[in-house]
Amino acid sequence: MAPVVQVDQLGKQFGEVRALDRVSFDVEAGEWIAIMGPSGSGKTTLINILGGLDHPTAGRVVVDGLEIGTLGERELTRYRADKIGFVFQQFHLVSYLTALENVMLAQYFHSITDEKEAAAALDRVGLADRLDHVPAELSGGEQQRVAIARALINHPKVILADEPTGNLDEANELVVLKLLHELHEAGHTILVVTHSQAIGNLADRRVELEHGRLARISVPSLAKE
């Protein structure tokens, strides 16, 4: 079976700055990949290209059979709605919509809304009693759980998470890690950008970047066990 994500000689240049330089790796369906590296190593650029938010300037990226470097704006938009579930460090919830509506917003842009399904997704992340709360009424951890429910609602092929615990305290970090672990157990393909060794250790593999280049791909000891 072909890998769900294929990154081949990927390059990205911002003017004179080479953010990514000949990066190659594959991700199998159901894998949990931690993308690690120091600040400025190209982690977020990589995740943006994988998510169809940015265009590569060299190489190719294939996600679920689609070479995303060849897609136009409209096709990229469709690609994001169909194939990708995003989780951001800053949560990025719409402030004037309730938790339920934030999840339904992803449904709305994907196809049709289903309030019961959105409520079930929030129930799955432990927020059944917070459906009608706006983000300002939720804790950071709860907001991130809403974002995870939103990322899952359209059954994406790949979940891309950029520092999902970066803005959380330790207790909430554990809750989110547990959720990611459960998603992995359920067979979701997850790519997480992180500085956290704890998350890196939970992943199946670690893709480590340095100065935009692939430094190494390693298997954490926990995964080996």
x-or-dash pattern for other proteins, window 28-67, by CB under 8 A?
A: ----------------x---x--x-xx-------------
Binding residue (CB under 8 A) for other proteins from 2, 17, 70, 96: 96
CB of 51 to other proteins, least distance (A): 7
User: Per CB under 8 A, does 77 bind other proteins?
Assistant: yes
Residue 190 near residue 180 (C-beta atoms within 8 A) = yes
CB of 49 to other proteins, least distance (A): 9
Phi, psi torsion values for 43, nearest 5 degrees: -60, -50
Give CA torsion, residues 100, 137, 145, 82, to 10 deg: 40
> What SS3 state is found at 20?
strand
> What SS3 state is found at 143?
helix
Other CB atoms within a 10 A radius of the CB of residue 142 amount to: 21
Q: Which residue has the tokens 């080479």?
A: 18
User: Per CB under 8 A, does 204 bind other proteins?
Assistant: no
What number of chain residues touch other proteins (CB under 8 A)?
33
**Nearest Cα to Cα of residue 205 among 51, 87, 83, 36:** 36
> Which C-beta is closer to other proteins: that of 102 or that of 172?
102
**Nearest Cα to Cα of residue 87 among 4, 193, 13:** 193
**Nearest Cα to Cα of residue 6 among 162, 180, 158, 216:** 158
User: Per CB under 8 A, does 80 bind other proteins?
Assistant: yes
User: Per CB under 8 A, does 17 bind other proteins?
Assistant: no
Q: How many helices (H) and strands (E) are present in the chain, helices listed first? A: 8, 10
Q: Which amino acid makes up residue 152? A: L
Phi, psi torsion values for 83, nearest 5 degrees: -105, -20
> Which C-beta is closer to other proteins: that of 33 or that of 103?
103
User: Per CB under 8 A, does 97 bind other proteins?
Assistant: yes
CB of 135 to other proteins, least distance (A): 12
In this chain, which stretch among 63-71, 76-84, 186-194, 205-213 interacts with other proteins, using CB under 8 A?
Answer: 76-84
Binding residue (CB under 8 A) for other proteins from 18, 60, 92, 213: 92
> Which C-beta is closer to other proteins: that of 142 or that of 204?
142
Binding residues (CB under 8 A) for other proteins: these are: 44, 48, 51, 53-54, 74, 77-78, 80-82, 86, 88, 90, 92, 94-97, 101, 104-110, 112-114, 150, 154, 162
